[in-house]
Amino acid sequence: MASARARVASTEASLAQARLDLERCNITAPFPGRVLQRQVDLGQVVQANTVLGEIYAIDYVEIRLPMTNGDLEFMYLPEQHPDRTAEALPRVRIHSTLGGEAHWDGYIVRTEGAIDEASRQLHVVARINDPYGAAHPQPLKIGQYVTAVLEGRLQEDAILIPEQSIYQGSYVYVVEDRTVQRREVVIARLADGQALIREGLVAGDRLVVSTLGQVVSGTPVRER
């Protein structure tokens, strides 16, 4: 009887240990998230401190966006306005064509503290809240290539002209008193086939957009 009771006690202890081991096999994340990597397979024996996988939170995602020196001049950076609320931070729209056209709206939350040594560019960080919620029917994948459109500074009295109307990167032709006149300009930015002019043109100037060869200032023109 004593031997039988001992075997029962031993078996019950083994059962309790097995139940504890089984309970410890259920891995619960400390936050809502998704699995990024799984490094063990079903039935594999693992030791203490073995990395089982990698997960990431889904309450928001952050995207590093490289900025050139020319871009920074036309942007509001969070570090320049530390007192701005989240609603007043620069807005950004993220676009992707993976699996169909989709976009996600977010805002710039911070600027990285160092220039990237490889590209010599400064990165800003955009945040998208709840990227897997009902407001975003198409989920944003980790590692996915995207295009970002950022909110910039308001440019007062900006003159935007076709890039093709600029000659040798420094001057344009305008029509004054039915003659062609050469006008030196200062270009602030070139993008998407257009040029933002900082100096040299004012509202109301009549810009020549047709391609011209070597034309001398004062050449008469016939208007249509």
CATH of the domain at 66: 2.40.30
Quick one: 28 and 68 in the same domain?
A: no
In this structure, the answer to whether residues 207 and 142 fall within a common structural domain is: no
> How far, rounded to the nearest angstrom, does the alpha carbon of residue 215 sit from its chain's CA centroid?
44
User: How confident is the model at residue 8, as a pLDDT?
Assistant: 92
Query: pLDDT at position 10, please?
Result: 93
DSSP 24: H
Sheet with strand 91-96: strands edge to edge: 60-67, 122-129, 102-111, 91-96, 147-150
> What are the phi and psi torsion angles at 169 (to 5°)?
70, 15
pLDDT score of 11: 93
Residue position matching structure tokens 């004593």: 2
Residues 46 and 125 in one domain: no
Name the domain count of the chain.
Answer: 3
d(CA 38, CA 126): 27
Residue span of the structural domain in which 78 resides: 58-150
C-alpha–C-alpha distance, residues 162 and 170, integer Å: 14
Q: Are residues 25 and 102 in the same domain?
A: no
Q: Per-residue pLDDT tens, the chain, 224 aa: give them.
A: 999 999 999 999 999 999 988 887 777 888 888 888 989 888 888 888 889 899 988 889 999 999 888 788 788 787 776 666 666 788 899 998 887 888 898 999 888 888 888 888 889 999 998 888 877 778 888 888 999 998 887 777 778 899 988 988 889 999 988 888 899 998 888 888 889 888 888 888 889 888 877 788 888 887 66
CA dist 220 and 218 (Å) reads 6
Residue ending a domain, among 96, 116, 150, is 150
DSSP 141: P
In terms of Cα–Cα distance, which of 57, 30, 29 is closest to 142?
Answer: 57
How far apart are alpha carbons 106 and 131 in whole angstroms? Answer: 10
- Is the pTM higher than 0.85? no
Residues recorded for the chain: 224
Give residue 143's pLDDT. 86
> From its phi and psi, is residue 178 left (phi > 0), alpha (psi between -120 and 50) or beta?
left
Task: Report pLDDT for 63.
Answer: 92
Residues 52, 68, single domain; the answer is no
Bridge partner residues of 61 (DSSP):
128
Of 123, 150, 177, the position where a domain reaches its end is 150
Q: Cα–Cα distance between 62 and 82 in angstroms, integer? A: 19
Q: Do 39 and 86 belong to one domain? A: no
End-to-end CA distance of the chain: 118
Kindly state whether residues 131 and 205 are assigned to the same domain. Answer: no
51 with 76, same domain? no
